[in-house]
Amino acid sequence: MKIPYSDLRVKPDAAFPNRTSLDRPIVALLLNRGERNVIAYATVDSGADNCVFPASIGIALGVDIPNPRSSLFSGSRDERQIAYYEEIQATILPMESAEIGADQEPISFPLYAGFCETLEHVGMGLLGQEGFFSRFAVNFFHAQSYFEIL
Amino acid sequence: MTPIDLVSVLEDAPMGEWLALSFKRDRIVAHAPNLIDAQKAAIEAGEPMPIMMKVPPPYPQII
């Protein structure tokens, strides 16, 4: 499946004074648990060890937060964060664009996903090594503004 | 390939709220402080498959 990068606004700063947007490899995911479902965005992030989402998405899927399946992790700061894991179903939805037709098939897979409060402000998930890159090959073509999930 | 433009569609989006985008990503159908309310409002407004997200923070870079 070929997916265009998504363009997000970014505030210029001292290091990047002329940058007003950045391109990020984002997928639209249909997340299911039983009868409940949410479509959410997630960034394909090879630097993340696991697949994690904002707690709100877990709550909408009926995931108990907290639950006994907790796991500690950290980001660039030396600060403990906690995610609560649950088995869900994920489907990568094709994202049409001018250059990509509507004929790509969705890709469904079981996902042991974490849900955490600390991703709330980001408002989208991260697809990392265990559960995503362990299952799919991903080619990034940043210069051409697309990536491919195989 | 042309990137998906999330800049324009999020231009006037309220910071800190959950947004329900149309599946075509061309407009915000609903928004609310929590995801469940925003999703419900979007479905009631006739968008059966809203994409749920928040306005990215002003410094959205992920390291």
**B15-63 pLDDT, tens digit each:** 889 999 999 889 999 999 999 999 999 999 999 999 999 987 766 666 5
- For residue A135, pLDDT over 90 is answered with yes
The stretch A54-83 carries a mean pLDDT of 93
pLDDT for residue A30: 98
Looking up residue A137, the CATH number of its domain turns out to be 2.40.70.10
DSSP assignment of A30-70 equals EEEETTEEEEEEEEE-TT-SS-EEEHHHHHHTT--SS-S-E
Residues of chain A with pLDDT > 70, as a percent, come to 100
Question: Which band of pLDDT confidence, cut at 50, 70 and 90, is reported for residue A69?
Answer: very high
Per-residue DSSP letter, A17: T
Question: Which band of pLDDT confidence, cut at 50, 70 and 90, is reported for residue A100?
Answer: confident
Q: Can you give A119-138 as a three-state secondary structure string?
A: HCCCCCEEECHHHHHCCCCE
**B28-37 pLDDT, tens digit each:** 999 999 999 9
Residues of A at the B interface (Cβ-Cβ below 8 Å)? 2, 4-11, 13, 21-23, 26, 28, 30, 38-41, 43, 45, 54, 56-57, 59-60, 75-76, 95-100, 120-124, 126, 144-146
> How many structural domains are present in chain A?
1
pLDDT for residue A72: 94
Interatomic CA distance for residues B56 and A96, integer angstroms: 22
Full domain range(s) for residue A17: 2-149
Long-range Cβ contact pairs of A140-148 (< 8 A, separation 24 or more): A140/A25, A142/A5, A142/A23, A144/B1, A145/A4, A145/A5, A145/A23, A145/B1, A145/B2, A145/B3, A146/A2, A146/A3, A146/A4, A146/A5, A146/B1, A147/A2, A147/A3, A147/A5, A147/A25, A147/A44, A148/A1, A148/A2, A148/A3
More confident call, A13 vs A87:
A87
> What average pLDDT does the structure give for chain A?
94
The pTM for the full model equals 0.94
Contacts A–B by Cβ distance under 8 A: 102
- For residue A36, pLDDT over 70 is answered with yes
Longest dimension (CA), chain B: 37
The stretch A113-132 carries a mean pLDDT of 95
Q: What residue of B is the nearest CA neighbor of A40?
A: B52
